[in-house]
Amino acid sequence: MDSNQQRIVITGVGLAAPNADNLKDFRKKLLAGISEIKEINLRYFGPAPAGICTFDETRYRKKKENKRGTRAGCLGVYCAHEAMADATLDIDYYDRSRIGVYIGLTEHGTVETENEIFNISQYNYDVNYWTHHHNPRTVLNNPAGEITMSLGITGPHYAIGAACAAGNASLIQGVQMLRLGEVDMALAGGISESTGSFGIFASFKAQGALAEAEDPRQACRPFDIERNGIVVSEGACIYVLERLEKALERGARIYGEVAGYCINSDARDFVLPYGKRQAECIQQALNRAGLKAADIDIINTHATGTKQGDIEECKAIRQVFGEAPATYINNTKSIIGHAMGAAGVLELAGNLPAFEDNMIHPTINVSNLDPECALPNMVLNKPTQLKSVSTILNNSFGMVGINSVIIVKKYED
Amino acid sequence: MTRDDIKDLILEIIKDIDEDADFDTLQSDQPLRDQLDLDSMDFLDIVMELRKRHKLQIPEEDYPQLASLDSCVNYLEPLLKNA
């Protein structure tokens, strides 16, 4: 079979979100629109709304290892083990050297560097007090590498840097590596530890793009006329990807099949999004999936709650889906904030159960819909029940002009 | 610092590195690495903590002196006599 025609399926999901540490609870809270965004207090910066994950950090490795590693590594190890367990896969089912670990990161090392500079500031900036852990913690492959060490995986591991499109990009990488025959199973997903960095908050604030609200749960309000910026969240989501025939052979539960994808570049601006190129990316993903816009049941939007970003994405959707009256649109960030490198995969995971329950979780916090964001079939403030859901299109865009789109369809013979 | 104080200091630093460390059967004349879950990075943590807590700059060639609890005490006793 032409390797590009090989069918790749998702057979396991492990996640840590600001409101859940497993897919079942995550789905329940998304459908109910339960946000657990809270106010945190950052060094130098002060209070800000943020999404913080609560999960059993020592379920799969010792405190000592968490202390030595990074928060991203800790999130990744938890999600990778959870994904394997969810897929009912023993680590020895596949040859360990034929498993690849592909982790999408918006950034990495910022938190560790800020912490270390603060540390030496306590010693008059004497670099003799700079930790020997700095380099292994800040190399870009750190989170993926911590996963391989924890699971004893000896195949390839590396990071995919694609700003906030990184989660989708890593999933695409996993699919491609399976199709190329480089690996027999992939752990692919995204991780963000960005809530540990005051610099990330301060930079968004300086840009006028950091959300503020009296109630932190209402701070992230994509498409609302009063939206005022991004809520930074930490989080992680890792998928088990397998070739369809292998998944069927072992009787795996199949969450969905990756039907199409595209990554492209705006080639235009450092931070401003560009609807025209986003539309091209969506269209190309549809073409590769062999689908028309009208075939898509759910669009999980990237919208982060910034003025221009939301409008540009709505323009792109309007352009491609103008003739698609049965396509429904939601937004997951309104509930969990922006999990950066994990955003694309985490939001996709939240939508995957729609193949079974045919529900669409809502965009919350929309009191007054911005007319420039108005689209048909937006799922606002309460969930929508459909007769059936068989396709999800997941948008994920990032700074310096990177767009990514993944289409997942319900598995059918 | 007395020899007992130094011993306590080292054990306290190791406990900070690994709070699961079990000292019940620790033999003070045997290498720490053979008895506890410690590797070379952990030893650098011990060196760093001694620097932070007591401004000790331990040269790399002296690191082997920190192999066992007894050798730590022997090596550190003159350095920490006024601490």
Q: pLDDT 10s per residue in chain B (83 long)? A: 999 999 999 999 999 999 999 999 999 999 999 999 999 999 999 999 999 999 999 999 999 999 999 999 999 999 999 88
Q: Is B20 within 8 Å of A128 when comparing Cβ atoms?
A: no
Joined together, the tokens standing for residue A214 give: 């009296």
Mean pLDDT calculated for residue range A274-299: 98
Residues from chain A that touch B18, judged by Cβ atoms under 8 A, are: 62-64
Distance, CA of B52 to CA of B58 (rounded, Å): 12
Distance, CA of A296 to CA of A196 (rounded, Å): 37
The model's confidence at residue A1, banded by pLDDT at 50, 70 and 90, is: low
Active site residue A302: yes
Alpha carbon dihedral A361, A367, A371, A373, in 10-degree steps, equals: -30
Decide if B44 touches A, using CB distance below 8 A.
yes
Residues from chain B that touch A123, judged by Cβ atoms under 8 A, are: 52
Measure in Å the smallest separation between the Cα of A384 and chain B Cα atoms: 49
Decide if B12 touches A, using CB distance below 8 A.
no
Decide if A62 touches B, using CB distance below 8 A.
yes
Active site residue A361: no
Q: H/E element holding A238?
A: strand A235-243
CB A197 within 8 A of CB A111: yes
Measure in Å the smallest separation between the Cα of B3 and chain A Cα atoms: 26
Residues from chain B that touch A64, judged by Cβ atoms under 8 A, are: 17-20, 37
Distance, CA of A134 to CA of A122 (rounded, Å): 17
pLDDT tens digits for range A195-230: 999 999 999 999 999 999 999 999 999 999 999 999
Alpha helices in A87-196 (DSSP H): 110-121, 134-138, 142-151, 166-180
User: Which residues, numbered 63 to 122 in chain A, qualify as contacts with chain B under a Cβ-Cβ cut-off of 8 Å?
Assistant: 63-64, 67-68
User: Which residues, numbered 129 to 168 in chain A, qualify as contacts with chain B under a Cβ-Cβ cut-off of 8 Å?
Assistant: 129, 131-133
Closest CA to A362 of A301, A407, A314: A301
Q: What is the pLDDT of residue A413?
A: 84
Closest CA to A380 of A220, A222, A215: A222
CB A174 within 8 A of CB A31: no
CB B38 within 8 A of CB B17: yes
The structure's pTM equals: 0.97
